[in-house]
Amino acid sequence: MVEFTLWDILRNLLLAARWTVGLSLVAFIGGGLVGFALLIARLTPSRGARRLVSFYVQLFQGTPLLIQLFLAYFGLALFGIQTSAWTAAALALTAYTSAFLSEIWFGCVASVPRGQWEAARSLALTFGEQLRHVILPQALNIAIPPTVGFLVQVIKGTALASVIGFVELTKAGGMITNATFRPFTVYAAVALIYFALCYPISLTARALERTLHAAHR
Amino acid sequence: MIRTVVNLDFGTILVDWRMLAKGVAWTLGLTAVSATGGLALGVGCAWARIHGPAWLKAVTGAYVELFRNTPFIVQLFFIFFGLPAAGFRLSPEAASILAMVINLGAYATEIIRAGIEATPRGQVEAALSLALSRMQIFFHVVLPPALRKIWPALVSQIIIVMLGSSVCGQISTEELSFAANLIQSRNFRAFEAFIVAALIYLALSIGLRRLLNWLGPRFLFGD
Amino acid sequence: MQVSRRSFSIGFAAVLSVFAAAEATGQTALDGIVRNKVARIAIPTDFPPYGFVGSDMQPQGLDIDMARLIAGKLGATVELIPVTTANRIPYLQTKKADLVISTLGKNPDREKVIDFTVAYSPFFIGVFASKATELKGPDALAGKSVAVTRGSVDDTELTKVAPASVEIRRFEDNNATISAFVAGQTQAVATSAQVAAAMITKNPQLGAEYKFLLKDSPNFVGVGKGEDALRAKLNEIILAAKADGTLEALSRKWLGRSTGDLPE
């Protein structure tokens, strides 16, 4: 059998963590773009679009990410769409992220006082102009801290991609555990690497929030 | 062009309804126990973070940050596979509950603390003038309005924890996603099994939100 | 890919059928392999010595050598796809892999959904526990907890013979099953004799030993249902490797024993 030194364990976990970071970035950026489109659809006067977006958000917030991953992986293939573990994980996490981000952002837009919409309308701006020049700039300020905070949820969410066989940090931990029989060391190291990734982001989100509150006082 | 036929057969999943029902029971049971435990832990730690001595503040702070910044599945694996090496062994069910309580506790601490800090000081001062003890003030004056304020956030967090319990199937706890997985490993109907599981989870999360929105005002912070 | 007809009916047995036209390119798995010169082969990474990772995280083992051998004979390069016991068959069903070489045993349930070649390596499933645990046969398992990998032949056989009072603990993959037993989470484990041997060597403190045989269940290569051209080609390759002693050498190299009589 192969022998793993502590350095071998750490080195392999860090190498696998690159995939965790990559998957997180893809899901966060993809989810941000889709989430923004959903937000706009939800702000339009069309009742149908609003309902559809609410349904989408409800669906992804009301079912486990684990099941969404299984469905993206094995479900899509049944309909002839071939996906690797990487694409399936990226797709499922993007959809999941977009649902949460659009909900967060909708809350931020809703917190812009109604009077702002009315004022913008009274200036005879179109819907697009109202959003672009009046509402979104104000909502953006409020939206940044929770958005950065949600990145932590995305990073942690990628750990579930391990169950469809995508070799990221958690999966690598399982494989190394089986080769070394040192689960305590391996999972403690896995947890520490996640912590090292997430904690600075959490701190940043909190600092941003404090600045925002200070500015509003 | 060759035509392939994909038949989706939900009947083969629903035949195993007993297994699914057992899975639902476990999911709800795990959620109920961990919601109660997690809330209690959250209240305790929130108190500690505001009123506790410096060392207790540091300990609870470290706990909250550690568990909010690592994935639930890793916490679960560490408890189930890692801790026995340190002489601490738990059954899959006990490990699942412990992981869920600790995880919810970390989030609940921060949510409840935010609620308490948003409570006007004037109320506490008024209570102090009534010669109530610190404990009495905390539980009767400070906590109820704080809980009322943050109840929707807590309800969302409890639902996230319920959905997260799907991961407990990975360590052989027989909750809903375990049932779906077991069924599909026997009849090879993966897609149908997960669709059925997803729909049940959706119904559970809608139902649980309604239930908690009803329960909270009646029993926790009487409106 | 287009969906040309959909029907939906809901009843006790709700059946939704999608008649999808397969891609005009790649009618059969064999055509695909020959055209792309790539064979997508599902292999285990949680199953020493059949498939496991070294300190460079690259898969190695009997099944990986077998995959390289077969891809070579097919004139293709090999694309190794790591799978777990529970998801091997969905990989074939959903055409994510052309063939599965992953300690796959044959049973009637599986034969309904995929096809098998002739056998290529031996596999014995047994129950293992500490020396202190008295276990003469399946009946002695009563009241004990046993770890097993969900959806494996081990699971099927154990479920078949175990008395009702056995607490069967099913895990997602072999990693988790072995880890659970090593961590002392269960009193016994049902798995392959070779996997158990590796586990026992690495963990002498367990004092674990072989208790009884569940099944002699040789490994077969799995292909998608109806992939007859590929299956015929693979049988040809496997039988030739058997005749020239390659299979025997593989078995000796990784398992330290002869292949014995492999069913054809």
- Count of structural domains within chain A: 1
Nearest of B95, A70, B13 to residue C176 by alpha carbon? B95
Question: Is the Cβ pair C175, A174 closer than 8 Å?
Answer: yes
pLDDT more than 70, % of chain B: 96
- Answer whether residue C208 shows pLDDT above 80: yes
CA distance B96 to B90: 9
Mean pLDDT of chain B: 90
Half-sphere exposure of C113 (CA within 13 A, CB side): 20
Residues C111 and C226 reside in one and the same domain = yes
Question: Is the Cβ pair B71, A174 closer than 8 Å?
Answer: no
Determine contact: C248 vs chain B, CB below 8 A. Answer: no
Q: What's the first-to-final CA gap in chain A, in angstroms?
A: 64
- pLDDT category at B223 given cuts 50, 70, 90 is low
Please report, as a single letter, which amino acid is at residue B210. Answer: R
Interface test with C, best of B172, B175, B183, B188 (most C CBs within 10 A): B172
Residues C203 and C94 reside in one and the same domain = no
Helix (H, G, I), strand (E, B) or coil at B113: helix
Residues C175 and C229 reside in one and the same domain = no
Residues C237 and C114 reside in one and the same domain = yes
- Give how far Cα C129 sits from Cα of A89, A125, C169, C189, Å: 38, 76, 14, 7
Mean pLDDT of chain A: 91
Out of C15, C155, C185, the one facing B8 most closely (by C-beta) is C15
CA distance A194 to C141: 40
- pLDDT category at C129 given cuts 50, 70, 90 is very high
Residues C119 and C135 reside in one and the same domain = no
φ, ψ of residue A183 to 5 degrees: the values are -60, -35
Nearest of B28, B24, B65, B42 to residue B157 by alpha carbon? B42
Residues C35 and C142 reside in one and the same domain = no
Residues C118 and C136 reside in one and the same domain = no
Out of A178-182, C9-13, C47-51, C140-144, the most confident range is C140-144
Q: How much is the ipTM here? A: 0.91
Question: Is the Cβ pair C185, B80 closer than 8 Å?
Answer: yes
Determine contact: A122 vs chain C, CB below 8 A. Answer: no
CA distance A120 to A122: 5
CB count in 10 Å sphere of residue A72: 25
Determine contact: C176 vs chain B, CB below 8 A. Answer: yes
Out of B6, B75, B198, the one facing A63 most closely (by C-beta) is B198
Cβ contacts of C206 within 8 Å, gap of 6 or more: C130, C182, C199, C200
Whether C157 is in a domain gets the answer yes
Residue of chain A nearest B196, judged by CA positions: A67
Instruction: Name residues 46-65 of chain B within 8 A of A (Cβ).
Output: 65
Report the pLDDT averaged over residues A25-39. 97
Domain ranges of chain B: 11-215
Determine contact: C96 vs chain A, CB below 8 A. Answer: yes
Whether A1 is in a domain gets the answer no
- pLDDT category at C12 given cuts 50, 70, 90 is very low
pLDDT more than 90, % of chain C: 61
Residue C147's domain spans which residues? 124-216
Residues of chain A with C-beta less than 8 angstroms from the C-beta of B197: 67
Residues of chain B with C-beta less than 8 angstroms from the C-beta of C155: 185
Domain containing residue C210: CATH number: 3.40.190.10
Question: Is the Cβ pair C113, B92 closer than 8 Å?
Answer: no
Residues C141 and C116 reside in one and the same domain = no
B11-215: CATH topology: MetI-like fold (1.10.3720)
Whether C141 is in a domain gets the answer yes
Determine contact: A58 vs chain B, CB below 8 A. Answer: yes
* C113 touches C67 (CB < 8 A): no
φ, ψ of residue C11 to 5 degrees: the values are -160, -155
Whether C12 is in a domain gets the answer no
CA distance B220 to C19: 54
**Core vs surface per residue C115-126: b (16+ CB within 10 A) or e:** bbbbbbbbbbbb
Residues C150 and C205 reside in one and the same domain = yes
- Answer whether residue C25 shows pLDDT above 60: no
Q: What is the DSSP string of C107-147?
A: -HHHHHHEEEEEEEE--EEEEEEETTS--SSGGGGTT-EEE
- Give how far Cα A190 sits from Cα of A45, A157, A196, C121, C132, Å: 47, 14, 10, 36, 34
- Answer whether residue B124 shows pLDDT above 90: no
Residues C55 and C160 reside in one and the same domain = no
Residues C88 and C203 reside in one and the same domain = no
Question: Is the Cβ pair A178, C18 closer than 8 Å?
Answer: no
Whether A13 is in a domain gets the answer yes
Q: What residues form DSSP beta bridges with C124?
A: C216
- Give how far Cα B88 sits from Cα of A53, B82, B97, B152, C91, Å: 47, 9, 15, 36, 38
Instruction: Name residues 14-43 of chain A within 8 A of C (Cβ).
Output: 15-16
- Count of structural domains within chain C: 2
Whether C102 is in a domain gets the answer yes
Whether C16 is in a domain gets the answer no
Question: Is the Cβ pair C52, A179 closer than 8 Å?
Answer: yes
Residues C157 and C38 reside in one and the same domain = no
Report the pLDDT averaged over residues B34-55. 95
Q: What is the DSSP string of A67-98?
A: HHHHIIIIIHHHTT----HHHHHHHHHHHHHH
Whether C18 is in a domain gets the answer no
- pLDDT category at B6 given cuts 50, 70, 90 is low
Instruction: Name residues 182-201 of chain A within 8 A of C (Cβ).
Output: 183
Angle in degrees, CA C64, C69, C70, rounded to 5: 100
Half-sphere exposure of C17 (CA within 13 A, CB side): 9
Residue A32's domain spans which residues? 6-216
Q: Each residue of C241-258: pLDDT tens digit?
A: 999 999 999 999 998 888
Determine contact: C32 vs chain B, CB below 8 A. Answer: no
